[in-house]
Amino acid sequence: MEFWTFFAAKPLMWLIVTIATFIVTSWFNRRIGGTPLLHPVLVSLSLIIVFLLLTGTEYETYFEGAQFIHFLLGPATVALAVPLFDHLERVKKMLLPLLVACVAGAVTAAASAVLVAQLMDAQIGTLLSLAPKSVTSPIAIGIAEKIGGYPSLASGLVLITGAIGCILAPPIYRILHIKDEAVKGFALGVAAHGMGTAFAFEYGLMAGAFGGLAMGMTGAFTAFMLPVLIPLLGL
Amino acid sequence: MLIGLLVLLLFQFVGELFVLAVGVPVPGPVVGMVLLLGCLILKGEVPDYLRLPSEALLKHLALLFVPAGVGLMVHFKLLQADWLAILVALIVSTALTIVITGLILNRSAKKLHQMSGEG
């Protein structure tokens, strides 16, 4: 028990737990055929949450160790420029359809989420926090603050959306006969931001590059679009 | 490898500075990505020292979302109140978004394939 009290307070402990859990869940996911329903990110974060709750550990304590991994999201986002450059010819050829698809997707994501929740009598704070849910967390937090939602709830909804997108995308692509890597990646990036992009990299580097492009475009567009759309939805 | 990592961090830094100076609601790393892409276009190729760390980071992109994902535990109470409305709204709108984005792009992707004769 004394060992536990000692190590539970060390950042090193939570860094090890995060990486080890992810390695095991990735291995497990490959063994059972790579189903997105048990995506390593989803399984890892569920297991770690249960572990933290069982041991009575605060999220802040956990994050002191896990922040070293979290920090790498910044340079990894910058690094998306490399696969994008590799597929620049493809991006140039599809520029106009990409813009149209991004605008249509971003408006659909925000408007349909708010309308469905409104029909089901959700509170106004929930509605405003739902609006930016398809956008990467740092942008979503900024938008929620601006339009009057709860930033903490908004960032949570962003993550759930990311998970749902990774689960729904493969069956939708099968039903609609979508086989093109670039299309698969871009739609994942529009609907499910960075988590969708990470998932798209499993289809290949090109899918990942288009996912990253979609994430950036959707984030920037939504930040300007929502303050206009929200009054139109009667909120 | 080390130089490449420094390049990534520097572009992120310049991106953060830009956001701070201009006050746009876009994250610094996204601006950094656009700037780096611009520089790569000017240079015409990706140097090996940059490709190595970039592809290493992107290969493990999924892992990087775990720490923030665990943060969901903080929102349990907020989620309890409207959980059914939230869940239905998220599933319906995420599915719709993927369908609409995918269908729009799939049409133009097919045209591209026909033009270049890839079938």
**Residue A83 exposure: Cα atoms within 13 Å on the Cβ side:** 27
Which chain B residues in 74-93 lie under 8 Å from chain A, judged by CB atoms? 74-75, 78-79, 81-82, 84-86, 88-93
* 3-state SS assignment for residue A57: coil
The set of residues, in sequence order, having a beta carbon less than 8 Å from that of A148 and lying 6+ positions away, is A125, A128
Minimal Cα–Cα distance from B16 to chain A, Å?
10
Mean pLDDT, consecutive 10-residue stretches, chain B (119 aa), reads 94 93 80 93 95 92 88 80 91 97 91 65
What's the length of chain A?
235
pLDDT given at position B28: 84
* Per-residue model confidence (pLDDT) at position A152: 77
* Residue A24 pLDDT: 97
Are A52 and B73 within 8 A, CB to CB? yes
Q: What is the pLDDT of residue B119?
A: 41
pLDDT at B25 (0 to 100): 66
Q: Which among A51, A40, A164, A30 is positioned nearest to B60, based on CA atoms?
A: A40
Question: According to the model, what pLDDT value does residue A42 have?
Answer: 84
Give CA–CA dist A44/A20, Å, rounded.
Answer: 9
Is B92 in Cβ contact with A153 (below 8 Å)? no
Per-residue pLDDT at A1: 61
CB atoms B30 and A216 under 8 Å: yes
Query: Which parts of chain A have pLDDT scores under 50?
Result: none
Alpha helix segments (H runs only) across chain A: 2-8, 11-31, 40-54, 59-71, 73-79, 81-86, 88-93, 95-119, 124-130, 137-147, 151-175, 181-200, 205-232
Contacts of A95 in chain B (CB under 8 A): none
CB contact under 8 A, A81 and B33: yes
- What integer pLDDT is reported at residue B47 of this predicted model? 95
What pLDDT does B116 receive?
65
Residues of B in contact with A82 (CB under 8 A): 40, 46, 50-51, 54-55, 58
Of B24, B37, B100, the CB nearest to A81: B37
